[in-house]
Amino acid sequence: MELSGLKNDTLQAWVPFDDDTEVLIAYVSREDLRELRKQATSLKFLKHQKSEETDAKEADRLLGRKGVKNWRALPGRPGFTMGGEVFGYSPENCDFLMERFNEFANFVNEAAIDFSKFVEEAKEQD
């Protein structure tokens, strides 16, 4: 497997989410994941004992912000809609989906760290 793409901090690929929508996903490295976890973790002191507590909701929000760059409808399809209206990409809409739509959050968690998807995309573009 060609690994030179790991040196590129801007690896992105359009990845199909469902029959209607594809999502522009940015590769999130292990280093990035550690930093996101650190940002979502706070120190608590209980009875003079230090402990770390990770806010799962904040961790998901941060991963969505780091990994999701856009989404769009596939040709001839509606894409994401809410109440019959197009539900376009924005960081706030991404936060909403990461919090409320388990399938989307799971998709982002898997797709953003799957380097092979980015290698495939690079081959298709060449």
On the 0-12 / 13-18 / 19+ scale of CB atoms within 10 A, 71 is: buried
Residue type, 16: P
Low-confidence ranges of the chain (pLDDT < 70): 1-9, 118-119, 121-126
The confidence score (pLDDT) of residue 80 equals: 97
The confidence score (pLDDT) of residue 125 equals: 57
Residue 13's DSSP bridge partners are: 25
> What digits encode the pLDDT tens for the residues 79-99?
999 999 999 999 999 999 999
Residue 45's DSSP bridge partners are: 50
The confidence score (pLDDT) of residue 100 equals: 95
User: pTM above 0.75?
Assistant: yes
